[in-house]
């Protein structure tokens, strides 16, 4: 499964890699540091990801701005996008669901909890039928 991981924080990126490396299934992770970079990756002509994991607070282009553009794009709007954030802001959550997301996951502070939660998310997506581009 190919994941586009959109996150500005390098520690968060390391956490994801560490979590994924412990799983049986193989995940191919493509990284982008903000919404702009993510759109460039998606429009590069490379094979599209199966799912997108999206942070909300990022410089240049936030997760919500990225989501708005993604959902207006006739080709990219089908990509399941799961928000992965520390924001417990209810307005952010509602806005993301309104625009269209496949999940909203709050990152636990403790690494062990993060790992358990992320494993569940990835297990869930690994049994889903995915939009093959």
Q: Which residues of this protein are in contact with Mg ion, per CB under 5 A?
A: 8-9, 55, 57-58
Nearer to Mg ion, 11 or 112 (CB): 11
Name 26's Cβ contacts closer than 8 Å, sequence gap at least 6.
1
Nearer to Mg ion, 41 or 130 (CB): 41
Q: How far is the CB of 8 from Mg ion (least distance, A)?
A: 4
Q: How far is the CB of 89 from Mg ion (least distance, A)?
A: 13
Nearer to Mg ion, 49 or 63 (CB): 63
The closest alpha carbon to 82, from 111, 37, 48, 50, belongs to 50
Nearer to Mg ion, 13 or 57 (CB): 57
Q: How far is the CB of 133 from Mg ion (least distance, A)?
A: 27
Q: How far is the CB of 55 from Mg ion (least distance, A)?
A: 4
């Amino acid at each position: 499964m190919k994941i586009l991981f959109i996150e500005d924080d390098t520690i968060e990126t390391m956490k994801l890699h560490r979590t994924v490396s412990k799983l049986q299934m193989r995940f191919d992770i493509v990284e982008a540091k903000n919404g702009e970079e993510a759109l460039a990756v998606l429009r590069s002509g490379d094979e599209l990801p199966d799912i997108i994991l999206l942070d909300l607070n990022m410089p240049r282009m936030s997760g919500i701005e990225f989501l708005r553009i993604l959902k207006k794009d006739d080709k990219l709007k089908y990509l399941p996008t799961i928000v992965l954030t520390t924001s417990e802001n209810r307005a952010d959550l509602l806005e993301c669901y309104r625009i269209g997301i496949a999940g909203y996951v709050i990152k636990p502070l403790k690494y062990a909890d993060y790992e358990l939660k992320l494993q569940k998310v990835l297990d869930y997506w690994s049994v889903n039928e995915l939009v093959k581009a």
